[in-house]
Structure 1
Amino acid sequence: MAEHPEVDTSQLSPDQQEALQQYAQVTDQDVKDAIPILERSQWNVQIAVTKFFDGDGPDPVAEAMAAETNPPRVAQRHENLQESFLHSAAPARRPQASRPEPAPRIVPQQPVVRQMPFVLAVILAPFSLAYKAASTLFRTVFYFLSFVPLSMRPRILGNGIQPLKKNASGRRMLLPRDTAARFKREFEEEYGENDLSFFDGGFAQALDLAKRDLKFLLVVLISPEHDDTESFARETLLSPEVVNFINDKNNDIILWGGNILDTEAYQVSLEYSCTKFPFSAMISLTPKEGSAKMSIIKRLSGPMPPRSYVAELQKSIEKYAPELAGVKAQRQEHEMARNLRSAQDEAYERSLAADRERARQKREVEAAAAAAERAAREAEEAAGRKEQLKEQWKKWRAGQAKPEPEASNKDVVRLAIKMRSGERVVRRFDSLSTMEDLYAFVECFDDIRAGTQESAPKPEGYAHEYKFRVASIMPRELFDPHGDGTLRDRVGRSGNLIVEDVVEETDE
């Protein structure tokens, strides 16, 4: 909150400074203008904001509280006889130039119906029922007697029953929008169709619209019972000159009309001190009197020629139009600055989102690379452990291998095996040896031939998998290492075998 150089806010209490800051944030008003309205509102931010937007009119409650809290001090006056003569002979001061009257925001108030106490309602219930029955009976009798010829009616009725005319109290109260539609319909029924564009809402809505869009609000109040109403409506208000002036978009005029028989228009006439009909008032924002204060800049009462009516309105518009143009330019600057800040914030947010997205993608790539590296390392470690277990198993299995039987032993199986390296090996096996013994011999052939069998423990939790298969040549038969039966049962007393690598099938 920027402080004004001529206003010293250091004298305010902390609560008053906080209230001033809240009020300035909401209204964007200068400090020199905000402090007086806060003082008149007893430093109540809500009351001050309401006065700011609705017009700083007199607040009886706040004034009474202020008077009670701070009673006016009567300054003691000391003067001698000479000063008394001089004071009485001094000329009276001229009043200051008249300022525009404030234009308060008026909302029609619904009548308050007070409920009768229950005990009193019970006591007066018989009288109420009797009154309703009697009034119903009399209305029925009068209704049927209205069709009787005048000469045959009872003398008590006189010349006849006259219909009651609608007045302000007998007119049904509607919502502001419905009241405006009724006024427009009645105006067209009375004076014919016209090109006047009356506002389709209540007075408060029209005032708010004029204040928001920086336009002029022309209020026209008419009284059907006034003698000059018809001539004013037909000759002045509906004249082409006035209609064209009001409908001219360059004048920025919002037209609101009301019939004082309606509650809203009647309240407007009271608040705006309307003493003569037809009544017209031009309302506008007066920046010099307050940053957001609606004021009455022109009053027109009674009938007048169309030329004079337009001239008076044109004069008031020309007087305050430059001020409104300045406020519009200021608002446009604020709007452009706000849009620029919004665009900058959006660009910053987009850039920040893009940076966050790039950082997220980078983290994902790094995480994927780290996961791949960790998986490769774990696979390598698993392969190394498996290879160690394989070597340990080969040493253990080579130590478990049975020695080759003697050549003189007739109960043997003689096999010629072609190894994977292409080497041809001929060896005798015991007839009770299994096919797994043959596979173990081929797997551990290098250790068995070198005679370097070491006594190694069997690795726990390791299941050896043979990466080759043994098959017969003619006829071709593939032998399973885990098949049942002995070598003699599977191969016979002799045979030619070949060792083939197992080729893993791939998608290709």
Structure 2
Amino acid sequence: MASTADFDISQLSADQQEALQQYTDVTSQEIMDAVPLLQRSQWNVQIAVAKFFDGEGPDLVAEAQAAQNHTPRASARHENLQESFLEGGPRPSSASRQRPEPAPRVVPQLPVIYRPPFLLTVVFTPFQIGYRVFAGVIRFAIYILSFLPRPLRPRAVTSSIRRGWKAPSERRVTLPKETAERFRREFVEEYGEQDLVFFDGGHAQALDAAKKDLKFLLTVLISPEHDDTESFVKSTLLSPEVVSFVNDPANNVIVWGGNVLDSEAYQVASEYMCTKYPFSCLVCLTPKEGSTRMSIVKRLTGPMTPAAYLAGIETAISKYAPDLDGVRLERASQAVVRNLRSEQDSAYERSLARDRERARQRKEAAAAAAAAEKRALEEAEAATRQEELRQQWRKWRATTIAAEPNAGVRLALNMPVSLGGGRELYAFVECYNLLQEPLPDEKVAKPDGYEHKYAIQIASVLPRETLEPSEYVTISEKMGRGGSLVVEDISHDDDDDDDDDDDVNGE
């Protein structure tokens, strides 16, 4: 460890000194190099260790924090003369503008079916039958009058045709998605195919989508019984400039439409205090009023020209779009920081996993080496013990072999089966060197539990046949009255391939 004379550790806080100590204990890096790396890692020991072992790339955390600190502020909001007239007079400046009213989240409530007592049902049954007969007559009359030209139709007949000859209370209450599908189907049937894209869910789902994706929600409520509905839809809402603007992905607009004859749209109209049709309002997230608050930033009521309708939407979007852009940038920077933290944590975990794997491999290698050394020692000890037993056996066996006859005397030795003729010959050859020396006076005992394996084999020359050390076959049975035998060394302990051949002549 380098000296700390060039750096005063006392300038660091207690936590920083502790982090420095932990880091240097792991990496053994000099203090002059460790302090800058810890500073770049926000004094996080894990991140610093990961950077030390895996290398240090660009500091994305600092870049993300710098981007977050330099989030562009909302530009000054200016109002034009046209908007002032549309709002009924000049509005306050952006510095003193009123807070937008909150946009309620409307969740449709299914109606509770009340079943009257059986007695009341019996009493009012005639009145129900009469009402149904009367309603049937009215519907038949409306059906007959529907064949008249539009200018000659009564207003009530036209309204009834638009809403499918059903009173508001008779429209079946469905789920929000089914209600949205029914609205689009009736809208196409009434005004033909069009390019305007409506949200395919309930108003609460559309509000949640606009809040999550930081978009503007344009809510359009129409009433088939209102005289201005048809002209507004055909001339304003479905005008090419309006359709092109709201369908442009760059403007981030979600359009939700509803028929006030439906339960959900009626509840939306009540919550949003709609008093005049056609009704449109623009809703978006207002971060300056609260990070989770959705507010109504523009109301468009009554009939108006496409230019005025589009101008009101564009003005509101231009006011609040910078705020949403700032939130998007903030979310992006937070996502970058989260991803970076996750990547750094993953890199640190991978580094720890590699260190653990290396430690495991080193431990296994050391254990294997120790086991091999122990096994080699045991094998060497076993070989030494085996050699000692072999030599003891040879000494013992040499004392059990009969002495050779005097020189000049030819003996024909026919070994009995009990002496094991083949084994006696092998023992004679095995102990031949010991038989050339005087036998020891002390008696050598046969080693217990030792089974001797001969390192030689005896074979006849012509024809070639190996004579095994059998206890039941004698040499005379194999050789007859005489022959030439060859002793071959088959010891596996020596790497020398040379054979020590001795000729043994027997008769």
TM-score (norm 2): 0.66
Which residue in 2 is equivalent to 1:469?
A: 457
Mark the CA change 1:474 to 1:317 in structure 2 (over 3 Å): closer, same or farther: closer
Q: Could you say what secondary structure the match of 1:256 adopts? A: strand
Q: Does the CA contact (< 8 Å) of 1:431 and 1:488 recur in 2? A: no
Which residue in 2 is equivalent to 1:322?
A: 322
Which residue in 2 is equivalent to 1:499?
A: 487
CA distance in structure 2 between the partners assigned to 1:132 and 1:396 by the alignment: 132
Q: Does the CA contact (< 8 Å) of 2:417 and 2:473 recur in 1? A: no
CA distance in structure 1 between the partners assigned to 2:461 and 2:178 by the alignment: 109
Which residue in 2 is equivalent to 1:195?
A: 195
Which residue in 2 is equivalent to 1:243?
A: 243
CA distance in structure 1 between the partners assigned to 2:241 and 2:418 by the alignment: 132
Q: Does the CA contact (< 8 Å) of 2:171 and 2:261 recur in 1? A: yes
- For structure 2, the 5+ residue unaligned runs are 1-95, 145-159, 496-507
CA distance in structure 1 between the partners assigned to 2:327 and 2:244 by the alignment: 26
Give the alignment partner of residue 448 of structure 1, picking from 435, 446, 470.
435
Q: Does the CA contact (< 8 Å) of 2:219 and 2:257 recur in 1? A: yes
How far apart are residue 170 of structure 1 and its match?
0.9
CA distance in structure 1 between the partners assigned to 2:227 and 2:416 by the alignment: 143
RMSD of equivalent CA atoms: 3.6
CA distance in structure 2 between the partners assigned to 1:175 and 1:497 by the alignment: 109
Query: Are 1:304 and 2:299 counterparts?
Result: no
How far apart are residue 297 of structure 1 and its match?
0.9
Q: 1:427-466 deviations in whole A, cap 9, x for unaligned?
A: xx89985221111111112222212345232222221111
Query: Which letter does structure 1 place at the counterpart of 2:311?
Result: A
Moved more, 107-116 or 300-309: 107-116
Which residue in 1 is equivalent to 2:354?
A: 354
CA distance in structure 1 between the partners assigned to 2:126 and 2:381 by the alignment: 105
Which residue in 2 is equivalent to 1:457?
A: 445
Which residue in 1 is equivalent to 2:370?
A: 370
Which residue in 1 is equivalent to 2:499?
A: none
How far apart are residue 247 of structure 1 and its match?
2.2
Q: Does the CA contact (< 8 Å) of 1:218 and 1:281 recur in 2? A: yes
Mark the CA change 1:139 to 1:361 in structure 2 (over 3 Å): closer, same or farther: farther
How far apart are residue 310 of structure 1 and its match?
1.6
How far apart are residue 358 of structure 1 and its match?
3.2
What are the within-5 Å matches in structure 2 for residues 93-172 of structure 1? 98-113=98-113, 124=119, 127=122, 131=125, 135=129, 165-172=165-172
Which residue in 1 is equivalent to 2:340?
A: 340
Q: Does the CA contact (< 8 Å) of 1:413 and 1:492 recur in 2? A: no
Mark the CA change 1:367 to 1:339 in structure 2 (over 3 Å): closer, same or farther: same
Mark the CA change 1:233 to 1:345 in structure 2 (over 3 Å): closer, same or farther: same
How far apart are residue 227 of structure 1 and its match?
1.4
Query: Which letter does structure 1 place at the counterpart of 2:382?
Result: A
CA distance in structure 2 between the partners assigned to 1:431 and 1:321 by the alignment: 116
CA distance in structure 2 between the partners assigned to 1:136 and 1:435 by the alignment: 131
Q: Could you say what secondary structure the match of 2:288 adopts? A: coil
Q: Does the CA contact (< 8 Å) of 1:197 and 1:247 recur in 2? A: yes
How far apart are residue 102 of structure 1 and its match?
1.0
CA distance in structure 1 between the partners assigned to 2:120 and 2:398 by the alignment: 122
Q: Could you say what secondary structure the match of 1:299 adopts? A: strand
Which residue in 2 is equivalent to 1:259?
A: 259
Q: Could you say what secondary structure the match of 2:384 adopts? A: helix
Query: Are 1:229 and 2:217 counterparts?
Result: no
Q: 1:36-85 deviations in whole A, cap 9, x for unaligned?
A: xxxxxxxxxxxxxxxxxxxxxxxxxxxxxxxxxxxxxxxxxxxxxxxxxx
CA distance in structure 1 between the partners assigned to 2:268 and 2:396 by the alignment: 113
Q: Could you say what secondary structure the match of 1:288 adopts? A: helix
What are the within-5 Å matches in structure 2 for residues 37-76 of structure 1? none
Identity of aligned residues (%): 53
What are the within-5 Å matches in structure 2 for residues 428-443 of structure 1? 433=419, 434-443=421-430
CA distance in structure 1 between the partners assigned to 2:375 and 2:126 by the alignment: 97
CA distance in structure 2 between the partners assigned to 1:431 and 1:139 by the alignment: 131
Q: Does the CA contact (< 8 Å) of 2:245 and 2:251 recur in 1? A: yes
How far apart are residue 136 of structure 1 and its match?
11
Moved more, 217-226 or 184-193: 184-193
Q: Does the CA contact (< 8 Å) of 2:417 and 2:471 recur in 1? A: no
CA distance in structure 2 between the partners assigned to 1:99 and 1:137 by the alignment: 50
Mark the CA change 1:282 to 1:431 in structure 2 (over 3 Å): closer, same or farther: closer
CA distance in structure 2 between the partners assigned to 1:412 and 1:203 by the alignment: 124
Query: Which letter does structure 1 place at the counterpart of 2:438?
Result: G
CA distance in structure 1 between the partners assigned to 2:235 and 2:384 by the alignment: 111
What are the within-5 Å matches in structure 2 for residues 14-29 of structure 1? none
Q: How many residues align?
A: 376
CA distance in structure 2 between the partners assigned to 1:269 and 1:295 by the alignment: 15
Moved more, 249-258 or 365-374: 365-374
Q: 1:376-403 deviations in whole A, cap 9, x for unaligned?
A: 2222222222212212221221222223
CA distance in structure 2 between the partners assigned to 1:225 and 1:195 by the alignment: 24
Mark the CA change 1:300 to 1:475 in structure 2 (over 3 Å): closer, same or farther: closer
- Higher RCO (C-alpha under 8 Å, 6+ residues apart): 2
Q: Does the CA contact (< 8 Å) of 1:287 and 1:323 recur in 2? A: yes
Q: Could you say what secondary structure the match of 1:359 adopts? A: helix
CA distance in structure 1 between the partners assigned to 2:288 and 2:394 by the alignment: 106
How far apart are residue 327 of structure 1 and its match?
0.8
How far apart are residue 375 of structure 1 and its match?
2.7
Q: 1:146-205 deviations in whole A, cap 9, x for unaligned?
A: 79xx9xxxxxxxxxxx99931222112222222112211211221222221111121111
CA distance in structure 1 between the partners assigned to 2:189 and 2:457 by the alignment: 112
How far apart are residue 127 of structure 1 and its match?
3.6
Q: Could you say what secondary structure the match of 1:255 adopts? A: strand
Q: Could you say what secondary structure the match of 2:98 adopts? A: coil
Q: Does the CA contact (< 8 Å) of 1:405 and 1:412 recur in 2? A: no
How far apart are residue 251 of structure 1 and its match?
2.0
Mark the CA change 1:352 to 1:192 in structure 2 (over 3 Å): closer, same or farther: same
How far apart are residue 207 of structure 1 and its match?
0.8
Q: Could you say what secondary structure the match of 2:445 adopts? A: coil
How far apart are residue 228 of structure 1 and its match?
1.5
Q: Does the CA contact (< 8 Å) of 1:211 and 1:284 recur in 2? A: yes
Which residue in 2 is equivalent to 1:24?
A: none
CA distance in structure 1 between the partners assigned to 2:227 and 2:278 by the alignment: 9
CA distance in structure 2 between the partners assigned to 1:98 and 1:313 by the alignment: 18
Mark the CA change 1:217 to 1:134 in structure 2 (over 3 Å): closer, same or farther: closer
Which residue in 2 is equivalent to 1:423?
A: none
- For structure 1, the 5+ residue unaligned runs are 1-95, 151-161, 415-428
Q: 1:254-282 deviations in whole A, cap 9, x for unaligned?
A: 11111011111111111111111111111
Q: 1:198-244 deviations in whole A, cap 9, x for unaligned?
A: 11121111111111111111101011111111121122212223222
How far apart are residue 485 of structure 1 and its match?
3.4
How far apart are residue 293 of structure 1 and its match?
0.7
CA distance in structure 1 between the partners assigned to 2:425 and 2:98 by the alignment: 126
CA distance in structure 1 between the partners assigned to 2:283 and 2:194 by the alignment: 23
Q: Does the CA contact (< 8 Å) of 1:432 and 1:488 recur in 2? A: no
CA distance in structure 2 between the partners assigned to 1:496 and 1:327 by the alignment: 109
Mark the CA change 1:432 to 1:354 in structure 2 (over 3 Å): closer, same or farther: closer
Mark the CA change 1:132 to 1:474 in structure 2 (over 3 Å): closer, same or farther: farther
Mark the CA change 1:183 to 1:493 in structure 2 (over 3 Å): closer, same or farther: same
Q: Could you say what secondary structure the match of 1:234 adopts? A: helix
